[in-house]
Structure 1
Amino acid sequence: MICPKCGKEIEEGKLYCEFCGEEIKIVPDFDPEIENSITQILSDVADEAIEWQSKKNAEAESDTSDTDEDSDEDNRLRKEFLTKNLKAVGIMGAIFIVLILAFGLLWFFLDYRYTNYEYQLDKAGKHVSKGELREAAETYRHIIELKGHDSLATYYLANVNLAMGDEESALLLYKEVVADDSAEIDLRYNSCKSTVDLYVARGNYKALSDFLMAVGDNDITNSFQEYKCSEPDFSYDEGTYEEIIPLKLSSKSGGDIYYTVDGSTPTTESETYSSPIFLESGDHVVSAFTLNSYGVESRIVSKKYHIDADVPLTPEVLTYSGDYTSPTLIEVEVFEGTRVFYTTDGTDPTSSSMEYKGPIHMPLGKSEYRFITYNELGECGEITSRNYNLNIKTNVSIEAAQKAIVDGMIEINKIYDADGRSMEIYGRYLYLYQYVTNIDNAGDFYIIAEIMEDENGVRTRTGALFAVGLYDGKRYRLGLDEKNDYVFFEF
């Protein structure tokens, strides 16, 4: 059998040419003997018809006396002619039916293969394995046309197009599979990964981010979060508020957030978000965008806020002036968006004074505290003053408490004299009173701090603290547990 495309000899019964891959359409040949038989039968029928017609004409010219004999002869000849003709027609009809059936079966076989999904998919795979990419692509397109839509064939076609260097067509086909919710999850994931790889190879991270953001957050894109660039989320919706709000910005994809609060367009030269933005009384337009690690910028998001809040600028000191006979904490309420500063020497505080960070231990004896509040605009209110007199009747003086700690340090060889000199450092250790306090379930204590003083007189806290009982003079080393509560240790 000869291949109609390449002309090479191939084995009988082969459906494809093993040399060029051409599909072989098999058409059964006529049997020469049958063909000769048909020709002979038709020739005999024609000869007999001519002979019969000649006899009939001759008999018509003969004597009328022979009419009866001629009539009998005519009937005999007519029967012989009809019998032979019927046999010939029967043979020809049978042959025709056989040919029709043969052609029908062949057509059914060829059409079945042409429209069978598994056969065509296998055929395309064989083309790919042989490196016949164009034939494979044509077969995959044929499969898609047959089914109207097929994600598997589309994915394979994308792979073939990519192998042939047609990246744009491959991208479109991969995206088509990713967008197909009816496709298997693994097929969609592989298509998504191929799309990501193509964009990364091109360095087109902006298009990659747009693609992933369009797909959304799901099992398909979760592995590629690093390439996304989500626009900033605002912790407060835009609108009117009757209090200062701490606006927080965040991005699901991570990255740096740049923002402005005056309505101007933010750039990478704008403020970088790192902590809540306190919006005070007035009108604000906050605009922000995200910049991911690949240099991709998100869409700019802007929100408008109107804040109508009266910020109290006068400090509210919760511990009132007066006489006290037990350890007491001085507490101040600090309003959101403000900072409180204070002095202890009777001078007026400023923003350069000590900042209130938490409760203050009231010192022994008389003291005067002055407090002032500043908002984020640098505006300050009136000064609030408090006068205290803490008078505790103790059995142990401050000096005795300090000496008790010094003696303890000498006993454990931390220092070798009352001046605090030590073999460990150039300088000395000082043990100085800090404040009195009540420690839950333990009583009232002097708190003594260890301070290192170098040869130049510079003092540095070591962080070590000690406690001496106000009434019994017992001394302890202090530590803090996981709850930040005091823990006592014996010397």
Structure 2
Amino acid sequence: MICPNCGKECTEDEYFCRKCGTKVGNFKFAVDNDKKVEDDYSQTSGFNNIVGGIPEQEVPEDDLGKTIDTSHILDNEEVTASFKDPSKEKPIELGSVDDDFGMIDDDDQDAGKSYESSSVEGVKPEKKKKTKVIVICVLAAVLVAILGTIGVIYATKTTQFNKFYNAGTVLYNQKNYPDARTQYIQAASNAFTSGQKIKAYKMVYATDEMLGGYDKEEIAYMEALVDLDDDNIEFYKNLIILYQNNGLDSKIGELISSAPEDIQDELKNFDGTIPTVNYPEGKYAKPLEIELSATDGVKIYYTLDGSKVEDSQTRKEYKKPFMLSDEGQYNLRAASKSKNGKFSKEFQGKYELDFDSVKEPSVNLDSGKYTEQKKIKVTCDPGCKIYYTKDGTTPTEKSKEYKKAIKMPKGTSLYYFVAVNADGVSSGVVTRAYDYSPDFSFSYDEALNALSSNLVSNGTFENKDGSFKNKNIGYLNYKSVEEMDGAFYYVIQVEICDKKGNTKSTSYYGVSTDSGHVEKVKRSGGKYTIK
């Protein structure tokens, strides 16, 4: 092109005449269709291509912004001194500037003085000031273009992200996990901000967990989430569980070391979903109370016969600690089950119980019938404790502890005794059965006769044999011999039934074993007292 001022020929890339400095061209912006902006920003995501369907971030060409071609910007030394057309005769007022970036130095301005355009040619401009103005303008234009490009990409990506994410949420709530997964992956592909990526990755991980069979993808997404939000301890815990269940335990230590210091201790003490046991496998000379634990939100199942938990028909759900009480070998296997039915990797441990022998306790009274009340005394070896029951069940450490001699009760009684050492090893069971019936001056038959007479006299019975005119029948049932108010009584139940055998009334009486005196008795909680 030709300079309109001095006539010098200029190239297409020149914006100012090299000879006179007159502007000869316009700034030109070029559209860069090689996705440079997208590449610059996608590299900051830290997660461009992972297993599980998260593609590299792609921006549609329609949404790409324009980059600025700055290759044509002149060197500072190429900007010439004059910006004005010397052919113009109109004077320039003091302090005015030309629209084409012409500037007048303050040192050359005098009050009331005007300069003819012909004199401008001889004024030498300050190159640094003019170059600075040009650079600032160019940088501002570049910044505006970049911000505009980012804004366009952000708006477009956010619209797409919200569309896919919301569609995935609807499907997820409908438990349509396969289609929800597809939508969330699309949302992840359109995620622009780290917050959007976190939301999308979390939901792809959640659907993979519900569907099962996506272990590698789950690991990839959770690793990406840790990179995006390294302060979220739950992401670390989920990743530890995934490493455990997929034989990647060697990566756990490195993961914990990379975490912020304030959460490392908690992560080191995190067990994950593989159950832990309070006793290591091995040989023991005592019974073991086994406690299993795992992370919250899972159920624990176990077997003791060595069968695989997931396939076993003998597996039991762990709800509270259980005992390995008997000598022998146990092959314990335990696994947790998540809410979506997925079993964790198993814990396996072999336990052998071989107890030291504990001598049975010694009881001073043999089993038999007694007419005189005795005291039952039991002894054992030092370091042991004695426990006993009276209901025929085998005593344990949770049974009643023997601490002093037991007064033999009246009637029949049955005792089971065991000795237990400090390790919880029990001896064999010692059994004693007693029948204590004191020699009373008033026999039970005499007591029945005395009670029948009393019942007729007070109108309870019509006849001593318990018969009634209306076909009702009265029964006398022996209960026990009880000590009440310092004396012994035969306790007898009086029951009256109708002719169909239905009970109409029940009452209790006590007949003195010494005199045959009859008293009305009250029964409460298995105990009897004279009214």
TM-score range, shorter chain: 0.3 to 0.5
Q: Give TM-score, length-normalised by structure 1.
A: 0.45
Higher radius of gyration, 1 or 2: 1
Higher relative contact order (Cα pairs below 8 Å, separated by 6+ residues): 2
Q: Give TM-score, length-normalised by structure 2.
A: 0.43
User: Greater share of helix residues, 1 or 2?
Assistant: 1
